[in-house]
Chains A and B, each alone.
Chain A
Amino acid sequence: MPEIIFINEQKTLFVAEGTTILNAARQLGIVLETPCNGIGTCGKCKIKIGSDYFLACQKSITENIVVITENKEQENRTLKIVSGGQSFSYQLKPFISKQFDGEKTVVYGGNAVLGTEPENTSELCYGVTVDIGTTTLVVAIIDLSSGKEIASESRLNPQSAYAQDVLSRIHFASNNEGLKLLQHVLIDALNEMIGAIADKVKISTKNIYEIVYSGNTAMLHLACGINPKPLGQYPYITQIHGGEHVTESTLNISPFGVIYLPPVISAFVGPDITSGILASQLYEQKETVLFIDIGTNGEMVLAKDGCLAATSTAAGPAFEGMNITCGMRAGNGAVERFRIADDGSIDVQVIGGIRATGICGSGLLDMTGELVRTRIIGKNGRFTSQKIIDHLQEKDGKKTFFVTDEVFLTQNDVRQIQLAKGAVRSGIESLLTKMNLMKNEVNRVEIAGSFGYHLNEKSLLNIGLLPVEFEGKVKFVGNTAQSGGTAFLLNKDFRTKMIQVASEIQKIELANNEDFEKLFVASLGF
């Protein structure tokens, strides 16, 4: 049996001959980017053996080898993940309360006694909000007496090592073994994160009594150890409904600590969106507000006068820089801002101020937006036939826009962006039609999610992800899954309110809309 050594991770494994490097990495819990799920098309799982590069998903192990991966620790440190989001003012009325009776401290959950602690610990009362995203985890400790967030941390979701996108993960967890594994690595990561930040601010995890799980529906199935298989099959049914405490707690908090799950709207519109609706107070708005979480699964909610409609669109991973030739996450070396000046020169901003090594989502949308604005890309998505700017060159016989010699945007990349933005745009159009609204009747557009935070309005309008009627109305509201989760933690009244709101939302399944195909095709152009 050959031995494989991952030198950066200092992990080794004996594997059967013919095992791919990716499979070995997965067995060791080493995260390699695999947006194409290991079919050899995306090129993101590149590793180095000696001085040669290989795709980990395609390279079989036939002899003892030493593999060099990109350093993920480094990436975790530089990755731009937004932890805070817009919120609103509300009364401090947490579900958890503590009372010292002269001898011991009683911990209440609502009116029920959860447990008692010796001596007076009533000052030490904490909660945690956890945003479980497909890609990232954000954990924050909240002081339940003051309502203040005292520490937070974010990192990549370690489940990505086994299956990167949400559907692959559902597939992976469709059997008991896979489900247990994914739940296990997630709970381990959450415990580590909670432990680390509690240490940092010098509080004991024993004084954490409630955790609010925000996140998408699939991730919460995995967190709760519930088989997510039905989510991945029409008619896409959620097995959990939220609005209640989860019975099983495996987190290292107070022995009588509890986990609260906000109401689930549907299989593809999860508690992260419920938290967003709460944080943005969508059900209280007199104006017409469109709330969008731009990501792999573009979830959106349209609100008017207390009436809400929600849907989700399969945008795919292009906005995260995946399935794009030079795409990468928003870490050091990523082009994050891009502008073309009147004289045709380009202005590029790279994360970390170093040499560009790739393009992240915001950079991609900026680039596409600017190329469309300056007509280097036509309305039909084609690179123009004339060479009007030096950066537009032929590569393998196809027009390609070069930022540097190694970082470029191909015609096919533009096609991927068209598909992604077309999905979101047709979702917006469907919601407007459903609620009988014109585009110019929308008063405000709120873009949520840690990815959305780095975008700029102009690019979204230039590529037509948003219609021109939304100009000047766009507001970036940050990670509302987190801020809404905090509101759930700090005021228990929202829990009953949001159960009602979630049940009353019109849930729109785009696949059931007969005109969807036409709408989608019409939304592909710039």
Chain B
Amino acid sequence: MGKTKDELYSAMSGAVVDMDEDLSVQLSREAVETGYDAFEAIDQGLTKGMERAGRLFDEGEYFVPELLMCADALNAGVEILKPNIKTERQEEKHKIVIGVIAGDTHDIGKNLVKLMLSTAGFDVIDLGRDVPPSAFVEHAVKENAKIIMISSLMTTTMDGMADVINLLNEKGIRNKFKVAIGGGPVSRKFADKIGADGYSSNANQAIKMVNELIGR
């Protein structure tokens, strides 16, 4: 087909930004057929496209629907490439447990954060919505996750986020986890007040924030 590896990866990235699922699939097949490393194709091609989409989201150029369609295009390509990843190449992914705090059932924002973190290569364990503070702690311990992420859209349920941190303190395991929070009524100030380690105002910033928390 006459494309260099860089050209192909850049086209894959473009297919994701342009929300073109079919093209993403086609180019991913091309990468497999040419014999390029599947892991590298995801990392240098598709994921780069998602990063660009995230930047456009930050700039107000893209909105939620565009971000979801970009993720669809990325995932369609990943489906093709994934079975071809040589197992020894798979590095241990950072684990995150995420959920909407008890009393709250609004999970669209949380789902978007989960999606963005997954596309950025994190292993995200979704506890769902209306999640009791104790369940955040139990699952984080059980899964050996390093990061706990809590979301809330209702002012009336925000205090539950502080309860998660208090529980960690009571159990003497606070320093084993980084706790990050987000959601409509949540602010940096509130995060500081309850002693959370991280706060992000949107799904794309969440990736940057988590990367900082784990020091990469």
Which residues of A have CB within 8 Å of B42? none
Which residues of A have CB within 8 Å of B64? 521, 524
A/B interface sample: 17 pairs, CB < 8 A: A36-B185, A37-B155, A37-B185, A39-B187, A165-B155, A167-B155, A232-B155, A233-B103, A233-B157, A234-B102, A234-B105, A314-B153, A398-B59, A410-B60, A415-B60, A517-B111, A524-B65
Q: Are B154 and A380 neighbours in the complex by a CB distance under 8 Å?
A: no
Find the residue from B104, B107, B154 having the highest chain A CB count within 10 A: B154
**Which of A46-54, A168-176, A274-282 sits within the interface?**
A168-176
Q: Are A511 and B106 neighbours in the complex by a CB distance under 8 Å?
A: yes
Which residues of B have CB within 8 Å of A174? 156
Q: Determine if B39 is an interface residue (Cβ-Cβ < 8 Å).
A: no
Instruction: Report B44 CB to chain A, min CB distance, Å.
Output: 28
Q: In the assembly, what is the distance between CA of A39 and CA of B192, in Å?
A: 12
Apart from the given pairs A232-B103, A412-B60, A517-B107, 14 other A-B contacts in the complex at a CB distance below 8 Å: A39-B187, A39-B189, A41-B187, A174-B156, A232-B154, A232-B155, A233-B156, A380-B66, A398-B59, A398-B60, A411-B60, A511-B129, A521-B64, A524-B65
Q: In the assembly, what is the distance between CA of A165 and CA of B184, in Å?
A: 13
Q: Are A40 and B187 neighbours in the complex by a CB distance under 8 Å?
A: yes
Q: Determine if B32 is an interface residue (Cβ-Cβ < 8 Å).
A: no
Within 8 A of A (CB), among B139-163: 153-158
Q: Determine if B33 is an interface residue (Cβ-Cβ < 8 Å).
A: no
> A171 is contacted by which of B106, B155, B189 (Cβ under 8 Å)?
B155
Q: Are B154 and A167 neighbours in the complex by a CB distance under 8 Å?
A: yes
Instruction: Report A230 CB to chain B, min CB distance, Å.
Output: 9
Main secondary structure of the interface of B (DSSP, over half): loop
A-B residue pairs, 5 tightest by C-beta = A232-B156, A233-B103, A39-B187, A511-B105, A411-B60
Which residues of B have CB within 8 Å of A511? 105-106, 129
Q: Determine if A26 is an interface residue (Cβ-Cβ < 8 Å).
A: no
Q: In the assembly, what is the distance between CA of A167 and CA of B155, in Å?
A: 6
Q: Are A525 and B60 neighbours in the complex by a CB distance under 8 Å?
A: no
Task: Count B-side interface residues using an 8 Å CB cutoff.
Answer: 29
Q: Determine if A311 is an interface residue (Cβ-Cβ < 8 Å).
A: no
Which residues of B have CB within 8 Å of A382? 61, 63
Within 8 A of B (CB), among A318-339: none
Size category of the binding interface on chain A: 35 or more
Q: Are A234 and B130 neighbours in the complex by a CB distance under 8 Å?
A: yes
Q: Are A517 and B108 neighbours in the complex by a CB distance under 8 Å?
A: yes
Residues of chain B whose beta carbon lies under 8 Å from any beta carbon of chain A: 59-61, 63-66, 68, 102-108, 111, 129-130, 153-158, 184-185, 187, 189-190
Which residues of B have CB within 8 Å of A37? 155, 185
Q: Are B155 and A168 neighbours in the complex by a CB distance under 8 Å?
A: yes
Kindly report which residue of chain A lies nearest to residue B159, judged by CB atoms. Answer: A171
Kindly report which residue of chain B lies nearest to residue A398, judged by CB atoms. Answer: B60
> A418 is contacted by which of B63, B107, B130, B153 (Cβ under 8 Å)?
B63
Q: Are A234 and B104 neighbours in the complex by a CB distance under 8 Å?
A: yes
Given contacts A39-B189, A380-B63, contact A232 B105 (CB under 8 A): no
Kindly report which residue of chain B lies nearest to residue A169, judged by CB atoms. Answer: B155
Q: Determine if A229 is an interface residue (Cβ-Cβ < 8 Å).
A: yes
Q: In the assembly, what is the distance between CA of A40 and CA of B192, in Å?
A: 14
Which residues of A have CB within 8 Å of B158? 171
Kindly report which residue of chain A lies nearest to residue B69, judged by CB atoms. Answer: A521
Find the residue from B63, B68, B104, B184 having the highest chain A CB count within 10 A: B63
> B63 is contacted by which of A168, A231, A415, A522 (Cβ under 8 Å)?
A415
Q: Determine if A520 is an interface residue (Cβ-Cβ < 8 Å).
A: yes
Q: Determine if A381 is an interface residue (Cβ-Cβ < 8 Å).
A: yes
Q: Are A381 and B63 neighbours in the complex by a CB distance under 8 Å?
A: yes
Q: Are B157 and A232 neighbours in the complex by a CB distance under 8 Å?
A: yes
Q: Are A525 and B105 neighbours in the complex by a CB distance under 8 Å?
A: no
Q: In the assembly, what is the distance between CA of A522 and CA of B63, in Å?
A: 12
Which residues of B have CB within 8 Å of A398? 59-60
Q: Are A171 and B156 neighbours in the complex by a CB distance under 8 Å?
A: yes
Find the residue from B68, B103, B156 having the highest chain A CB count within 10 A: B156
Which residues of A have CB within 8 Å of B129? 234, 511
